[in-house]
Structure 1
Amino acid sequence: MKKKITIVVLILLPVIFLVFRADLPKGTSHGGQGLTTEVIKVYQGFGYQIYQGDRLLIQQEFVPALPGRRSFPSAEEANKVAELVVQKIEDGQSPHISLDELKELNVLNLRK
């Protein structure tokens, strides 16, 4: 019985993963340094990845600048922050995100 359950789980997990991935915004390509962003589904919400070509530069599963491990509640919010990080990298700035920047992007309904 355990063997059948294990087989079913091993078959269903990749299918479930692919279904969730299909609903996420597709990667966004940027000029300059060949950076792309991709929103990812994480356990309690969303995060993002930033690639340079095929190389993963950043995988952010939690909202930066906030204490604890809180993921983004929506793909749109994760994408806003990912786009800002790419812009900062392309401008030669540190990719770190501050609480003020999250407020400016209106992420998590934070107010200035």
Structure 2
Amino acid sequence: MMFKRKLIVVLAITLVSISALYLANSDILKAPNPYKTEVFKVKNGFGYQINYNSKLLIKQDYIPAIESNQTFCTIEDANRVAHLVSTKLFNKENPKITLENLNQLNIALNCNN
């Protein structure tokens, strides 16, 4: 009788611990990102903007970190960079985009290629 009671207590503690660990690592308890991204069409390509609580924070018509005024070749490229900037802002990091970031995201820097 005592063994069953101890076994039930151990199982209950284990179940609670596993549940707590799952919730701590799931998106259920994480705050939503208040930075929202939007990709838009510009003359020769695409740009993006970042809104914070429905207010325009960043409007980027050109690919950051390169010297020429080159627009993003695809919606997907603009969206990947916008998402990275949004994530950096959410994590309280410097939102600056570098050439290394662009390379890691496979962003096309020349729409003719």
The two structures have a TM-score, normalised by structure 1, of: 0.67
Tell me the residue number matched to 2:47: 47
The two structures have a TM-score, normalised by structure 2, of: 0.67
Q: Does 1:87 align with 2:87?
A: yes
**In structure 2, C-alpha distance between the alignment counterparts of 1:52 and 1:88, rounded to whole Å:** 13
Deviation at 1:88, TM superposition (A): 0.5
Unaligned runs of 5+ in 2: 1-30
Structure 1 runs, 4 residues or longer, greater than 3 Å off:
none
Deviation at 1:54, TM superposition (A): 1.8
Give the 3-state SS of the residue equivalent to 2:48 in structure 1.
Answer: strand
CA contact (8 A) 1:65 1:99 kept: yes
Deviation at 1:53, TM superposition (A): 1.8
User: Quick one: which amino acid aligns to residue 89 of structure 2?
Assistant: I
Tell me the residue number matched to 1:66: 66
Identity %: 40
Give the 3-state SS of the residue equivalent to 1:51 in structure 2.
Answer: strand
User: Quick one: which amino acid aligns to residue 102 of structure 2?
Assistant: L
1:11-26 matches, cutoff 5 A: none
Q: Which structure is larger by alpha-carbon Rg, 1 or 2?
A: 2
Give the 3-state SS of the residue equivalent to 1:31 in structure 2.
Answer: coil
Count of aligned residue pairs for this structure pair: 80
CA offset digits 1:23-77 (Å, max 9, x no partner): xxxxxxx924x11100010111000010012200000000001111000010000
**In structure 2, C-alpha distance between the alignment counterparts of 1:98 and 1:46, rounded to whole Å:** 19
